[in-house]
Amino acid sequence: MGVLIHLVKRVMLFLPMLVGVTIVSFALLQLVPGDPVAVLLGDNATPEQIAHMRTQLGLDQPLLIQFTTYVGNLLHGDLGVSIFKNEPVFDLITSRLPATLELAFGAITVSVVLGIPLGVVAAMRQGTVIDLIALVFAQLGVALTVFWLAILLMYVFAVQLTWLPAIGRGEPIVSAVQILLFEGRAGPLLDSLSHLILPSIAMGLQGAAMICRLVRASMLEVLNSHFVRTARAKGVKERRVVWSHALSNALLPVVTMIGLQFGNLLSGAVLVEGIFGWPGLGQLTVGAISQRDFPLVQGVAISFAVLVGLINLLTDLTYAYIDPRIRI
């Protein structure tokens, strides 16, 4: 029951945020200095072209009508039509979304797999060389910018060592898994994973550094708490005390951190996808912004915000599920 009430409360908070996000993305087009249509079409446009575009964007209507039409269309899943690609924005976004999500989950996996063990070991061996290495990794990892790291990884592992492919995306992971399961061929899955490794590391390493720092601090606190002392006093093996008793409690803030990191990952995707030629939302965003394809920019902004909102909602609910204290 407690979880249900928490869920309802949290969803009720999500709705006003959605309204706000809609207003901001609507306001984006109004922010264009001067006439957005003139900005879009350039100096050589004929009056007919300008009038046609104005009608297409709905700018010939009063502001209030424009807004109600915009919200009405949004509620029907209509995000407008891309000016340069001449395709519905919704279709463009949904066709690119799986690739970006794949990359984001790859990056989260890298962050978790690297960050948590390093943080735990650093806390266990506080003040030793291992701790120092973890601290240096945490500082450098945060300072390494994603796009430079992406270039470095590409140079070392794709150009010099030629271990991994430099650009492109293999078969979508889901279909590659299906091929493995139903046709018994592992090739497509291995190919997809080999394409996924470099961009995932580029996007996930910063998160790994942050998680490492957080887990170390959190573990140091938990390892000094009474329940750990009790467990040790009862004769529980040190390995079990650390990896089972202490870690499960120290991981609580990490869950929140992963949720918060998701927004950063999407920002990182905008930079990394271009470098690795990954056909996701990030590349679509950069293209839309360079061409000043306003309906697509608005659509991408609103989808990113909804996606981050949903992930944060999910994180909050996971947190409430794993930590009963939240529900009280």
Partner 1 sequence: MMKFIRQNPLFVIGFVMVVILLGVAGIYDWVSPYGLEQMDMRNRFALPSAIHWLGTDNFGRDLATRLAAGARISLTIGIGTVAISALIGTALGIISGYYGGYVDTILMRVVDVFMAFPAFVLALAIIAVLGPGPLNLVISLAAIYWTQYARVARAMTLTEREKDYVAAARGIGASATRIITLHILPNILGPLIVLATFGMGTAIVAESGMSFLGLGVQPPTPTWGWSLAYGLKYLRAEPWMSTAAGLSLMFAVLAFNLLGDGIRDYLDPNRVTTKAVKKAVRTNVKRA
Q: In the complex, which residues of this chain contact partner 1 (CB under 8 A)?
A: 16-17, 20-21, 23-25, 28-29, 31-33, 36, 39, 139-140, 142-145, 147-148, 151-152, 154-155, 159, 263-264, 266-267, 270-271, 274-275, 285-286, 288-290, 292, 294, 297-298, 300-301, 304-305, 308-309
Decide whether 37 or 242 has the Cβ nearer to partner 1: 37
Find the shortest distance in angstroms from Cβ 143 to partner 1: 4
Measured CA angle at 162 (ends 158, 163), to 5 deg:
95
Could you tell me the two tokens for 233?
């006093």
Count Cβ atoms below 10 Å from residue 116 Cβ, excluding itself: 20
Decide whether 70 or 294 has the Cβ nearer to partner 1: 294
Find the shortest distance in angstroms from Cβ 171 to partner 1: 27
The whole-angstrom separation of Cα 295 and Cα 73 is: 12
Decide whether 145 or 225 has the Cβ nearer to partner 1: 145
Burial 274-285 (b: 16+ CB within 10 A, else e): bbbebbbbbbbb
Find the shortest distance in angstroms from Cβ 82 to partner 1: 13
CA torsion through residues 325, 322, 2, 307, sign: positive
Q: Which DSSP state fits 292?
A: T
Look at residues 52, 74, 62 and name the one whose alpha carbon lies nearest to residue 298.
Answer: 74
Find the shortest distance in angstroms from Cβ 154 to partner 1: 7
Decide whether 214 or 270 has the Cβ nearer to partner 1: 270
Find the shortest distance in angstroms from Cβ 148 to partner 1: 4
Chain length of the chain = 328
Decide whether 106 or 282 has the Cβ nearer to partner 1: 282
Could you tell me the two tokens for 28?
């984006």
